[in-house]
Structure formats: structure tokens, C-alpha cells
Amino acid sequence: MKAVLGIIGGSGLYNIPGFENALWQRVESPWGEPSDDLLIGEIDGLKVVFLPRHGRGHVHSPSAINYRANIDALKREGVTDLISVSACGSLKEEYKPGTFVLVDQFIDRTIAREKSFFGTGCVAHVSIADPISPLLVDVVEASCKAAGLAYHRGGTYLAMEGPQFSSKAESHLYRSWGCDVIGMTNMPEAKLAREAEISYSTIAMVTDYDSWHADHGNVDINAILKVLHENVDTAQKLVLSVAKSLPREHEECPVGSNSALEYAILTAADKRDPELLAKLDAVAGRVLHKT
């Protein structure tokens, strides 16, 4: 299978150097409206699909993003490997603003979002014990090393609902759990990517120390934006390097991203809801067509 790289990120990644023949295209999804059109083009011969998570102009709050439509649209464009570029707060002293954290675990504390493509009429259970694809992280890490970036491989991302930032009590609680960074967008994104059998990886860009750090005060949106703007060029170069390095033939994922649905659907074939099955054509077509 040919590799197709998907990127979900912010406004700073719209104009990636070397992104050729790029056009904004509307992709219809039975799950509703994606955050925006998809920017589809090529980098060094590799198909790359970019989706602005919050929409151009940052019009969607983290809770209002249609995560199902976003992942479905990317799947319809053939995305096999998906990188989420996300701003986050640091819960560790050593992860200073400007550091890139390649997380490998999540704790989902969101409460107001649709978290699965499956449900009544077609029940499925997938494992997200290892939500991040290690082969994809290998490529990202090699690009970080080559660029001389301050990064850390591994760590737990606490996904909070938002849109407000943490109270000090919450921030200290998450630190006591051993979490490394905190953000508002990677769940249920990572869960849905696994249901869609897409390899997923997060590049978490630290912008602040959340609200726990006595020397840094409360979260300051102006300070966050300053760090984000300073990191735009770095993030663009990192994505460009990943695109150039990614194997052109998609490799089987050692943690089962490619086969997550193989035995996951439990509803008997004669009991499945035809309307739901029609919506699952892109996400679960590989396994549904077998039965």
C-alpha cells in the first residue's frame, strides 16, 4: 500500500516549503462537516493531506471540532500515516517552552465529544493500549535529531475538555498522576484514528507550564502565541523532513494500527444497521467487505 501522509495542525503549517501542486479541496463526510477543506498536494513525490484542526482563522473550539468527520475525510483521501502537531502545556520542569514532546500515551479527560464511529447497530471494540505508532515516531525522531531540536521521546498527554485552562488544583493533580504534557485536542482524535486503522503520532509543542509552576504564574495566551509563532518555521521544516523520510510503501504497524478492526466488530452481520454501515464505508470498509 502506498503511504499517504496526513497532517493535522494549526495555521502556521499552511505554507510548508516544498509542498507542491497543493490545492484546497472539499471532502464530504457522512459524519458531518470537517473542520475545513483539505489542502492536498505532494512533497518529494509523497501525497500529503493537510487539515487545519480549528479551521482557517481558528473558528472551532476544541470541544466543537467534529473529530469523526476530520478522521473520516482523511481516510477517504487515503491517509495511512497521520501526524498531529499540537500546542500543549508542560507538566514537567524539564520540558521548557519550545520543547517538542513525542508522546506515546494519553489520558482522556474529555467529556463532551463523540469518541467512536461505532455504536448501536454496529458495535466494535478496538485496543488503544499503545495509541501511537512507533514506526512513525521513529521517522519523526530522526527528523528532530537531524534538525538539532530540543525534544523528548515518550510521555503521557493529558487531554482536557477546555476551552478554559486548568485550575492550579487540576494542574497539580495531573502532575501527581505522572502526566508530562496537557492539551485539548488529541482525544478523541487518536482513538478515532485507531478505529480508522490509521497510524498516528503526536508532535506536542510545549508553549507554557500550565498553571502549576510557581515561577511562571497563570497561563498567558499572549505568551503561548509568542512561542507558537517562534516555532512556526521549525515545525514547517520538521514536517517537510518527515515527509521526505517517510517510506513510500506503508509499513505494517507493530502495534496493530493497520489491523485494529480485524476482530473488533461484534455485531452479527444480520443485525447490523444499514444506515450506520453506509457511514462506515471509508473507516471500516476493509473488514465490512469481508462479511
d(CA 53, CA 58): 8
d(CA 195, CA 199): 10
pLDDT at 4: 98
Q: Are 235 and 12 in contact (CB under 8 A)?
A: yes
d(CA 151, CA 213): 20
Has 104 been annotated as catalytic? no
List the grid coordinates of 8: 493535522
pLDDT at 15: 75
DSSP letters for 30-46: TT---SS-EEEEEETTE
* Domain boundaries defined on the chain: 5-288
List the grid coordinates of 132: 501511537
Binding residues for substrate: 184, 208-210
> Taking the CA of residue 280 as centre, how many other CA atoms within 13 Å lie in the half-sphere pointing to its CB?
27
3-state helix, strand, coil split of the chain in percent (to 5) is 30, 25, 50
Q: Which of 72, 81, 104, 210 is catalytic?
A: 210
Q: Are 9 and 186 in contact (CB under 8 A)?
A: no
Q: Which of 81, 104, 180, 208 is catalytic?
A: 208
| Domain over 5-288 is classified CATH 3.40.50.1580 | yes
pLDDT at 111: 97
pLDDT at 291: 59
pLDDT at 236: 87
Query: Residue 204's closest CA among 222, 187, 221, 223?
Result: 187
Binding residues for phosphate: 11, 53-54, 86-87, 185
Q: Give pTM, 2 decimals.
A: 0.95
d(CA 122, CA 269): 9
pLDDT at 46: 97
pLDDT at 231: 74
Binding residues: 11, 53-54, 86-87, 184-185, 208-210
Give me the residues of the chain with pLDDT under 70, please. Answer: 11-12, 14, 215-225, 227-229, 291
DSSP tag of 133: -
Has 208 been annotated as catalytic? yes
- The type of residue at 154 is G
Query: Residue 171's closest CA among 61, 88, 87, 63?
Result: 88
Q: Where are the alpha helices (DSSP H) in the chain?
A: 67-76, 134-147, 168-176, 189-195, 221-245, 274-279, 285-288
d(CA 190, CA 217): 31
Residue 284 φ/ψ, nearest 5 degrees:
-120, 15
Q: Is 14 helix (H, G, I), strand (E, B) or coil?
A: coil
DSSP tag of 137: H
* H-run or E-run covering 153: strand 151-153
* H-run or E-run covering 204: strand 199-208
List the grid coordinates of 151: 525534544
